[in-house]
Structure 1
Amino acid sequence: MPRQIDHEARRSQIAEAVCALIAERGVEAATLREVAARAEVSMGAVQRAFPKDGGMLRFALDHLIAEVEQRGTERIAGSSSARVLLTVTLQEMALAGTDQGAQARVWLAFLAHAGVRQEFAAVLREHHAKALDLLVWIIDHGRRTGEIRAGLNSRLEARTLHAVVDGLTQQVVIGTVTAEDVHQLLDHAVKPLWT
């Protein structure tokens, strides 16, 4: 009897290989042959998992976003403090943790290609919109609990923090700031919000 293949596990395995290659050598390194070799599967297995052109890269980007969201969710589990929610969310968005360097490089590689690859731009726009909505919700939550000053424009504050995070991710990748610097800079950026 032929062995059963867990298709989602196979797709995740391939996405991990794609991300590893991109982190090491850029999007161009994620060829069918290189991905199959890194994932230790046949090229046919990769093609069966991702029959559409560009589907493998799109899935890898979605996979990266899901990993970051999952890690953030685990870190804030059980907390209702706006300070904790906002701090952890911004730290995860910045991809500045000691184990997140590869993810930050992959994120910026996809971002760089989004100018010429609409499928990447669409995913990134959707992710940015969700991240912005989450920041607005956290700020509004903090206003309701009295942790964050009343009278702030939640969307403007969220957009500002989102831009700060994007800039910090770039600086982490090029080596001008450390993860410790990022935490300090994020604390400084949110300080005016607290009551």
Structure 2
Amino acid sequence: MTTTSKYVELVGAQQRAARHATSMPLFVNALAMCYLTYVRFVDPGQLAAATLTPMVAYAALLLAMLLQRQLTGVGLGRDRYGIVAVGAIGLVVIFGPWAFSLLGASFFLGLGLVILGVRARDAWLWIPGTVLMVAGPAITFASPGLYILTACTVGMLAVSTTALVREQRTAKIDIS
């Protein structure tokens, strides 16, 4: 790899770090998983709340990134948070509670992370997303579903925190 391409790669990494392009989606999904865990512990019958969770999570992610752009001037990049938010809304409208009762809300949260991760070529997004997609039906149907949900929630909180620390270190690298 040439010095120029290393420089361009580092600048790109710093821009993604400044935008929190990895930690922000992970954190929003971690909060959504916390909510799903809360619903499962307190009121397991709230299917409507679980159905709306991915839609609300990705709409909140889009709003957070737009707010960040207004406050800091750091752009949205090419991650297409809006497309994922609109896609989540479309899934709710098209499939409604039926798909969510089969696959689970965490499946659709994971699907959004996979889409963002593949678009950004970011394993920090698509790997946790894949885990959530695989765990979604198990959370819904398996007898230890509550334990799987709790483990996924704790895992998402840990991964989002680690990603934030990683982004902060990347942002501090001197590229001059």
Instruction: Classify the TM-score, shorter chain.
Output: 0.3 to 0.5
Of structures 1 and 2, the one scoring higher in RCO (CA 8 A, sep 6+) is 2
Higher helix share: 2
In the superposition, the TM-score normalised over structure 2's length comes to 0.34
In the superposition, the TM-score normalised over structure 1's length comes to 0.32
Query: Rg larger in 1 or in 2?
Result: 1
